[in-house]
Amino acid sequence: MEHLSPEYNEIGKEQALRQQQWQEIEAEVQRLADRLGRPIDEHIRAAVVGLRANGFGTTGSCEGHADRAYPYPWIDVESPISEAIGNDPRYRELGDKFRNYTKGGPALTPAEMKEGQRLQQTMIEENEKAFQRVVGMLKEFYETRLDNPLGSKFTLSVLKGPRNDARIQPASGVPFGVRYVDAMKSWSEQEKRANLQPYRDEMNKFSDFLRSKFLSVLPRQPDSDPGNHYL
């Protein structure tokens, strides 16, 4: 009877653990809903799972629709820390107070202003780290593709938002700041219908890449100097 080395036993355990974690994230994403109570679209769900499994926060997404919304899939990505701050009741309370102040309500105290600014700065700084990781992830994705479509309108790209938040969408998608009603004039009805599936196919390939990246466990390489270990 063949016995596996302790190293490969550990790899097997790690693979099983990651598979379990993937399933837990899938279940979590299944429960997510927007402010209207609508679940995440079916044809973007796998990419959302893949991004969250690889350490990103996601704050919005759409599978794309030919008859409404943008005619291509997109996902808004933030740092998990930024996402947690944005969902924190205290941060929302400060935001509500500030919006009330702009409408003639009482001003925030100096301490509240300082607290809100500190949270905003933390979000901006953490989102910049996440943005750079997204850029690197897409670069790796296209470097490993045999059918590399770089330069085509279906290629995925990353837009940077006002708080360094990122939006993953096709390179031919709408830039930030363009009004939706104006954006819809960029495509004919025929183009919307013809391009939607290729746009989704490209996002699905990225989803497969994210899943493979998370679930893959490589054997540990031996240290060149076994006497030196760095944390």
> How much is the average pLDDT of 27-50?
92
Q: What value does the mean pLDDT take over residues 75-99?
A: 94
Q: Please state which of the ranges 67-71, 114-118, 150-154, 192-196 shows the lowest mean pLDDT.
A: 150-154
Give the span between the Cα atoms of 45 and 123, in whole angstroms.
25
Mean of pLDDT values over 121-138:
96
Q: Which two tokens stand for residue 165?
A: 């938040």
Looking at residue 36, what is its pLDDT?
A: 80
Whether 134 contacts 168, CB under 8 Å: yes
d(C-alpha 99, C-alpha 224), whole Å: 58
pLDDT of residue 144: 85
pLDDT at 175: 84
Are 175 and 131 contacting, i.e. CB atoms less than 8 angstroms apart? Answer: no
When the pLDDT of each residue in the chain is averaged and rounded to a whole number, the result is: 86
* Confidence check: pLDDT of 229 > 60: no
Between 36-45, 73-82, 124-133, 174-183, the lowest mean confidence (pLDDT) is in 174-183
In the chain, what percentage of residues exceed pLDDT 70?
A: 89
The pLDDT of 197-224, averaged and rounded, is 82
The answer to whether the beta carbons of residues 133 and 80 sit under 8 Å apart is no
What is the pLDDT at residue 151?
67
Residue 182 or 50, more confident? 50
Give the pLDDT band (50/70/90) at residue 224. Answer: very low
**Alpha-carbon distance 53 to 35, whole Å?**
23
Q: How many angstroms separate the CA atoms of 165 and 126, rounded?
A: 9
Q: Check pLDDT > 60 for residue 222.
A: no
For residue 153, name the pLDDT band (cuts at 50, 70, 90). Answer: confident
Q: What band does 150 get if pLDDT is binned at 50, 70 and 90?
A: low
pLDDT tens figures, 6-38: 655 777 788 899 999 999 999 999 998 887 888
